[in-house]
Amino acid sequence: MIRKLISGLALLIVAMASVSAATQQLTPSEEIFLQGHWPEVMPPQGSPPADYSLLERSLSPASCGQCHPQQLLDWSASLHSKAMGPGIYGQLVDMVESDPATTRICWSCHTPLAEQQEKLWSSITDGGSWLANRQFDAALQRNGLVCAACHVRQRQLFGPVRSTTPEITGKIDQGLPHNGFSAETAFSKSGFCRGCHQFGPDDYRLNGKLIENTYNEWKESRYPAQGVQCQSCHMPKRRHLWRGIHDPDMVKQGVTISIDLPGKQLHPDDTLTATITIANTGTGHYFPTYLTPKVFVRARLIDAAGNPVEGTAQEAIIGREATLDLSQELYDTRIPPGDLVAIGYQQVVTQKNLSLKVEVIVEPDHFYARFYRSVLANGGSSDKGRVLLEQALKDAEQSSFSIYETVKPL
């Protein structure tokens, strides 16, 4: 099992905000709230209050959407709604029985509610044991990271402070449905996201670096001092979109790409020396932040008809590569916030009227595709798991897109 590797959630920060640096810091009370709001293991919600309607008793996103249609629409299109997609579910379907402890680690981010988990740990028996969860809701599990995972605790509602009256925190009822809600400022700070987007200091490392380090990357960037939170870009105007590495427009806004060519005309037998620069100008963490995506920078010469000139193709990769068993880091060429990488292209010109074609292709699920192929090739899953992983592989192979393409005459 790949611990916490199926998240696909990249925190691309592209907006700028003129807010004092102090506003990004978590206060002691916010830290206490987050520790209680995101425990290591989420307890069951318990029985709903007697005055709750049937709609309010439900933990289903569809029920929430009856009164919050825009939020449901946004969430439905986001990766949060697919957090228990065929890739992660295809792995866990067999692990529930064989390794429930590791499975729970995956559940903790992908389906964190106790009602979404097939087994619960009981310490009542001698030494403790895993027991079938009588409150398990299979449909709710397949919904992934649902509304209630962030907003409901022990049947009480929590959310950010109101945008119209941001100074008011704490319990707000005023005759609102489901006995009102508790307004918490922590919902609007990056620290709220760290539980699933930041490994702890003692978690697994490769080459001395945590597998997932997005929150720390953000903290070390210029964005905290500018008051730019994860939510500033991934939840603009409080939209529940969470766009990231799978969204072409979001990725394009995060980087600046330029091509530097010689200032003179080149002739046959001359050597072209060009520089392709990728600058991380709008991403509040490494580009890309996670182990799974790869960014391919491809350049080649083409003739006047647009046909590629044989033997001139060159490629550079921006990303972090590891062996499939996560035992070794092979390379790490990611770009820190505010930094850049300059990629050289050198090629002898063999004919007249040539141009340099440059493309930048993003494969957000590159590692996953490799992993799924390996599992399927080695028969490492049951029939049900295999069907799911085959679908996950198909999805991963179709997720690539271009963020840049240009043709520069020599």
pLDDT (tens digit, 9 = 90+) per residue, 181-202?
999 999 999 999 999 999 999 9
Is 235 domain-assigned? no
| Of 80, 89, 58, nearest in space to 145 by CA | 80
Same domain, 256 and 132: no
Above 90 in pLDDT, residue 165? no
Is 324 domain-assigned? yes
- CATH code of the domain covering residue 391: 2.60.40.10
The DSSP output letter for 287 is B
| Of 85, 79, 245, 59, nearest in space to 151 by CA | 59
Same domain, 182 and 106: yes
Mean pLDDT along residues 164-177: 86
- Identify residue 106 by its one-letter amino acid code: C
Q: How many CB atoms lie within 10 A of CB 387?
A: 14
Q: What average pLDDT is seen over the chain?
A: 91
Same domain, 276 and 139: no
- Specify the pLDDT at position 24: 62
Same domain, 171 and 276: no
Is 201 domain-assigned? no
Let me know: does 345 contact 410? Beta carbons within 8 Å.
no
Same domain, 256 and 184: no
Same domain, 184 and 253: no
Above 50 in pLDDT, residue 406? yes
Crossing angle of helices 86-98/366-377, nearest 10°? 50
Let me know: does 187 contact 158? Beta carbons within 8 Å.
yes
Above 70 in pLDDT, residue 3? no
331: Cα within 13 Å, side-chain hemisphere: 8
Is 240 domain-assigned? no
Mean pLDDT along residues 72-81: 97
Gap between the Cα atoms of 302 and 199, Å rounded: 45
Which residues in 303-354 belong to E strands, given as ranges?
314-322, 329-332, 340-348
pLDDT band at 110, cuts 50/70/90? very high
Is 18 domain-assigned? no
Let me know: does 233 contact 12? Beta carbons within 8 Å.
yes
- Specify the pLDDT at position 133: 94
| Of 181, 189, 130, 127, nearest in space to 159 by CA | 181
Mean pLDDT along residues 268-285: 96
Same domain, 59 and 160: yes
Same domain, 166 and 278: no
Is 118 domain-assigned? yes
Token pair, residue 404, equals: 């840049």
Mean pLDDT along residues 204-210: 95
Gap between the Cα atoms of 169 and 155, Å rounded: 19
Number of domains in the chain: 2
**43-56 tens-digit pLDDT:** 999 999 999 999 99
**Which are the contacts of 164, defined by CB distance < 8 A and separation ≥ 6?**
none
Which residues in 186-243 belong to E strands, given as ranges?
205-206, 209-210
**118-150 tens-digit pLDDT:** 999 887 776 788 999 999 999 999 999 999 999
Same domain, 142 and 59: yes
Last residue of a domain, one of 188, 203, 229: 188
CA angle 52/53/55 to nearest 5° reads 115
Same domain, 59 and 150: yes
* Percentage of the chain exceeding pLDDT 90: 83
Token pair, residue 147, equals: 């509304």
Token pair, residue 381, equals: 């899953």
Domain extent, residue 142, equals 27-188
Same domain, 405 and 262: yes
Last residue of a domain, one of 188, 222, 237: 188
Last residue of a domain, one of 141, 173, 188: 188
Gap between the Cα atoms of 275 and 260, Å rounded: 5
Let me know: does 388 contact 396? Beta carbons within 8 Å.
no
Is 9 domain-assigned? no
Same domain, 404 and 273: yes
Round the CA-based radius of gyration of the chain to a whole number and report it. Answer: 24
Token pair, residue 73, equals: 């629409």
| Of 402, 370, 407, 368, nearest in space to 297 by CA | 402
Let me know: does 337 contact 285? Beta carbons within 8 Å.
yes
Let me know: does 154 contact 45? Beta carbons within 8 Å.
yes
Let me know: does 334 contact 286? Beta carbons within 8 Å.
yes
Is 241 domain-assigned? no
